[in-house]
Amino acid sequence: MDWAIIQHAIPLLFQGLIATVKISFLAVILGTLLGVVLGLVALGRNRPLRWAVLAYVDFIRGTPLLIQIFLVYFALPVIGISLPEFWAGVIALGLNAAGFIAEIVRATVGSIERGQNEAAKSIGMTHWQTLTFILLPQALRPFVPPLTNELITLVKGSALLSVISVYELTRAGQAIISVHFVPFEIFLLIALYYYALISALAWLSRYAERRLPVW
């Protein structure tokens, strides 16, 4: 164990960790907003839109994240949309998360007692008002654990962005290894950084779940 290299690598890997946090934060915001909209559309009454959302979710769930990253980074320039590595990574992760979050929203909101739909209709509420003001608030608490799992998956998936040269935690480690040839020490440090980050996310999720009201 080369402690001098470890001491040198810790601040460099921390910079990569900060980049990973930024990418993951932006991607989860994009993925959550888009996923909630898609999930509510999947619960709507417009059949073509429901089929379109289903097709999108099936594509996301049925293809590897790495291929989706390549499609965003390498295929979009073919149609005139060229993105920097950072934003290509954010968008690829966000679009991937949106597919899974849409299914989470559809399942959690759809599991709320159907009798509440009938009660809302009886007082003149529209379908979208029922979703927004009755069903969605009740789905928040059961929504948090699967959302946390998706966020954890997203953070770990961000390591794949190193293949398109995004400077995040894994890429920072690869750069150090290419110079000092100490893969064991560096990959162990990378694993510890990821473990600390994901443990913090899990703790925040449990805290948020306890604070949410029980409907």
Most distant pair of Cα atoms in the chain: their distance: 71
Domains of the chain by start residue, with CATH: 3-211 (1.10.3720.10)
Q: Indicate whether 138 pLDDT > 60.
A: yes
Q: What's the rounded mean pLDDT across residues 210-215?
A: 65
Q: Indicate whether 127 pLDDT > 80.
A: no
Instruction: Give the contacts of 27 (CB within 8 A, at least 6 positions apart).
Output: 89, 90, 91, 93, 94, 97, 154, 158
In contact, 99 and 57? CB cutoff 8 Å = yes
Q: Indicate whether 210 pLDDT > 90.
A: no
Tens digit of each residue's pLDDT (9 = 90 or more) over 13-49? 999 999 999 999 999 999 999 999 998 888 877 889 9
Residue 88 backbone zone (phi > 0: left; psi -120 to 50: alpha; other: beta): alpha
CB atoms within 10 A of CB 175: 17
Tokens of 152: 């954890």
Residue 182 DSSP SS3 = coil
According to the model, what pLDDT value does residue 117 have?
67
Tens digit of each residue's pLDDT (9 = 90 or more) over 58-96? 999 999 999 999 999 999 888 888 899 999 999 999 999
In contact, 136 and 144? CB cutoff 8 Å = no
CA–CA distance, 85 with 82 (Å, rounded to integer) = 9
Token pair 């293949």: residue: 163
Residues for the chain: how many in total?
A: 215
